[in-house]
Amino acid sequence: MDSSESLKEQLKTKVDLKFSEEGRFRILLFSDIQCSRDGDPRIKEAMEKIVCDKSPDLVLWGGDNPFGAETEEEFIELISFFSEPMEKRGIPWALTYGNHDDAMLRSATVGRAEQIMESEFPYFVSKHTDGIHGVSNYVLPVYASDGSGRIALNVFSLDTGRRISDMNGEGVLRADIRASVRLENPVMGIDNGFDIIRFDQLKWYWDISEIIEKANGRTPAIMLTHYCPHETAAIRDNPEATEMTGEFSEKISPGPLNCGLFATVLERGDVMGIYFGHNHRNSAEGRYCGIRLGYIGSIGYDAYGFKRDSDSVKNRLRGARLLTFDEKDIENYASEYIMASDYVALRD
């Protein structure tokens, strides 16, 4: 990777992200809206009220969000509906892709969705990195409050893909891999066909992190993905030792193969926390090997997993996550799980 020009290109954002004069930066995380244009209106109500109340500086979507658009016009209409709470307040927003994000997002013309959103939505700040797997791999720099141009915090996104069958292209998985991931007793009991982060994505993260460190000094970071890392099981199985908050109300679902994401960020040493969606009924967060692993939760009222529950149970599990960073002590940032029940009336 070519350093100076490449670094400028990788770090360029349409809207600058910066700590406030008071030295604060807030990131609000939503995930798994899983809704078409005719979805439950409480989705919009919950997002609107939470954004209004928490006044974030950046909103991140963790995948499996709007779907069902078949044309570019429908896509713009759908994104307009969900991005309105941010756009009308001038709040930058970005996203990573999940396994349910449809062809309009994972376009055959890679990066087309980003082109549309960049041109139509002034506060959309996601980017596309060419030459590696996935369509939502990027880094967003958050600059220091003093105007020096120093990066105080990085926000990485890595695309966890859709299905492991994509590994060999054409949607056909090699027979021996397919048989192995469907073993009667698979590794860690994980028998799903979800995808994994690929080596070229991990290498991209490592390289850009090194380049930023050479130019800026070691810079703390958080990371956004859709599937959880395998090591999330350590939080579930050791709640006291990992200082777990929240709950696991369904099994964890990383990809069937451990891609090495956690080991990579642990060795690199800049990522303080990895946050993810996908499992709608999980709201847990804990600390393993010094790195926080946390669920974002689902803000969707049409997402799977909630249908059998009463609204009171749904609203306990349904929610979002807020990260608040103090510029003087970034590594000890605050993480809060926000329950929808505090904002949207029950309908039992």
> Residue 24: which CATH number?
3.60.21.10
Helices (H), the chain: 3-11, 42-54, 72-87, 112-120, 175-181, 199-216, 232-237, 261-268, 311-317
> Is residue 127 a contact partner of residue 113, using CB atoms and an 8 Å limit?
no
Whether 150 maps to a domain, the answer reads yes
Nearest Cα residue to 85 out of 114, 56, 113, 117: 56
Q: pLDDT value at position 41?
A: 74
Strand partners, 339: 319
Q: Which DSSP state fits 185? A: S
Sign of CA pseudo-dihedral 197, 95, 338, 342: negative
Whether 302 maps to a domain, the answer reads yes
Whether 348 maps to a domain, the answer reads no
Identity of the residue numbered 118:
E
Exposed e or buried b per residue across 121-135, where buried means at least 16 C-beta atoms within 10 angstroms of its C-beta: bebbbbbbbeebbbb
As a whole number of angstroms, the distance between CA 254 and CA 187 comes to 11
Q: CA–CA distance from 177 to each of 186, 202, 258 (Å)?
A: 12, 21, 13
> Is residue 60 a contact partner of residue 27, using CB atoms and an 8 Å limit?
yes
Residue 334: Cβ-neighbour burial (10 angstroms; 0-12, 13-18, 19+): exposed
3-class DSSP state for residue 222?
strand
> Is residue 302 a contact partner of residue 40, using CB atoms and an 8 Å limit?
yes
Whether 272 maps to a domain, the answer reads yes
Q: pLDDT value at position 333?
A: 98
3-class DSSP state for residue 152?
strand
As a whole number of angstroms, the distance between CA 36 and CA 18 comes to 33
Strand partners, 286: 293
Whether 347 maps to a domain, the answer reads no
3-class DSSP state for residue 52?
helix
Q: What are φ and ψ of residue 288, in 5° steps?
A: -130, 125
Nearest Cα residue to 198 out of 258, 269, 279, 252: 258
Q: CA–CA distance from 284 to each of 245, 280, 297, 304, 325 (Å)?
A: 5, 11, 9, 18, 20
Q: pLDDT value at position 39?
A: 66
Identity of the residue numbered 253:
S
Whether 275 maps to a domain, the answer reads yes
CA atoms within 13 A on the CB side of 150: 11
- What does pLDDT average to in each consecutive run of 10 residues of the chain (348 residues)? 67 92 97 70 86 96 72 81 91 86 58 79 90 90 95 96 70 71 70 83 96 94 95 96 93 87 97 91 94 91 64 72 97 94 72
Count how many domains the chain has: 1
Q: pLDDT value at position 177?
A: 74
Strand ranges of the sheet holding 58-61, from the earlier edge strand across to the other edge: 93-95, 58-61, 24-30, 319-326, 334-339
Name the residue range of residue 53's domain. 3-342
